Chains A and B, each alone.
Chain A
């Protein structure tokens, strides 16, 4: 509303009667010049280049992308729809601010090697290990070969490897565990608990 009208109290004095308003609208309309006399010729030229209304209906009866887009555009121009769309967008933004993890993470925070065995019959031989950052790769490989150990998964988010000790018997496996646990290359070594 215009500044000068917004401050007024519409109930302070009796309103103008409908007849008066009608007279005002008609009188002010009378002051408006009629469209140029040549306007219809312009319209006629335009409609001659377009199809007959019936033909138009026949063509629009079929699936027509232009008509769909036009209808969609007209629908989107409705102020109420525009506000609705803005409200939905705002709601989505708020949800992402409040719950930033939505859509970005799944159930697990640790990524997995695709080939990892999720169901292992020898789960009791699985160990979690973290190697020192300074440990050379060749030394780690040598240690794993000596202890008959293979990496089954990792490194995880915190640098954790899952190792499987495949010693021939229990004393051999125990010895391998001791070797790994006491190795200067290994920073952390514990049995995996399921």
Chain B
């Protein structure tokens, strides 16, 4: 996890975006699109329309770059925009979503003889709740500090810590059920 208060490598790119520099904005996109894409795919139960949300996220980043107040890392701010759009999408789909779209329901039985190790790990992760997957992604993939996650999710820092703890425990439980120990990973 990143330490708090360090220099932000994305800040010059965002400052260039504020000036309306399309080349610098492209660089910002190149550096960050993969991270935002992974975040959205872990957040949303259905994978449909994720690229639309991603496109809208970058449009919002372009439009609102000047409103960045430097109170968090640039990536945290970008994920925040992405998250708001994802939450809107989730609430839109809530009433007419397809049960087959939920990865935790869709996940097949624990017949891991034919499946490889990576598939089993993906399946274990898919069985966690969205909230647990999100917090693990933010802490261990996006490398955000607890302070940044706390700001992003609008919850106290200690709640972030306990949520990470329970998410880790839940993932271990799922892996144990599938016969995967920490040494196998």
Asked if residues A21 and B168 are in contact (CB atoms below 8 Å), the reply is yes
Interface core residue of B19, B22, B38, B127 (most chain A CB under 10 Å): B38
Q: How many residues of B contact A (CB 8 A)?
A: 58
Name the B residues within 8 Å of A18 (CB-CB): 1, 140
Query: Does residue B129 face the partner (Cβ distance < 8 Å to A)?
Result: yes
Asked if residues B66 and A2 are in contact (CB atoms below 8 Å), the reply is no
Find residues 40-72 in chain A having any chain B CB closer than 8 Å to their own CB: 40, 42-44, 46-47, 50-57, 60
A22, chain B: closest CB distance, angstroms: 5
Name the B residues within 8 Å of A32 (CB-CB): 37-38, 41
Find residues 1-40 in chain A having any chain B CB closer than 8 Å to their own CB: 1-2, 4-5, 8, 10-11, 13, 15-18, 20-29, 31-32, 34-36, 39-40
Asked if residues B18 and A54 are in contact (CB atoms below 8 Å), the reply is yes
Name the A residues within 8 Å of B64 (CB-CB): 53, 56
Query: Does residue A105 face the partner (Cβ distance < 8 Å to B)?
Result: no
Asked if residues B174 and A56 are in contact (CB atoms below 8 Å), the reply is no
Q: Given A21-B168, A21-B171, A47-B62, does the pair A54, B37 have CB atoms closer than 8 Å?
A: no
Asked if residues B67 and A25 are in contact (CB atoms below 8 Å), the reply is no
Distance, CA A30 to CA B168, complexed state (A): 20
Closest to B185 in A: A20
Contact count band on A: 35 or more
A172, chain B: closest CB distance, angstroms: 81
Query: Does residue A157 face the partner (Cβ distance < 8 Å to B)?
Result: no
Find residues 95-138 in chain A having any chain B CB closer than 8 Å to their own CB: none
The segment from B4-12, B26-34, B92-100 found at the interface with A is B26-34
Asked if residues B65 and A53 are in contact (CB atoms below 8 Å), the reply is yes
Cross-interface CB contact of B66 among A17, A23, A36, A57, cutoff 8 Å: A57
18 new A-B contacts at CB < 8 Å, known A16-B182, A25-B137, A28-B121? A1-B129, A1-B166, A2-B104, A5-B129, A8-B169, A8-B170, A11-B169, A15-B168, A20-B182, A20-B185, A21-B140, A24-B121, A28-B125, A32-B38, A39-B55, A43-B58, A51-B63, A56-B64
A-B pairs, 9 with minimum CB distance: A10-B169, A57-B66, A5-B170, A52-B20, A25-B141, A8-B173, A47-B62, A25-B140, A53-B65
**B-contacting residues of A (Cβ < 8 Å)?**
1-2, 4-5, 8, 10-11, 13, 15-18, 20-29, 31-32, 34-36, 39-40, 42-44, 46-47, 50-57, 60, 74, 77-80
Jot down 23 A-B pairs with beta carbons below 8 A, ordered by A: A5-B127, A5-B170, A8-B170, A10-B165, A10-B168, A13-B176, A15-B172, A18-B140, A22-B140, A25-B140, A28-B118, A28-B121, A39-B51, A44-B22, A46-B59, A50-B62, A53-B18, A53-B62, A54-B19, A54-B20, A56-B64, A77-B87, A78-B154
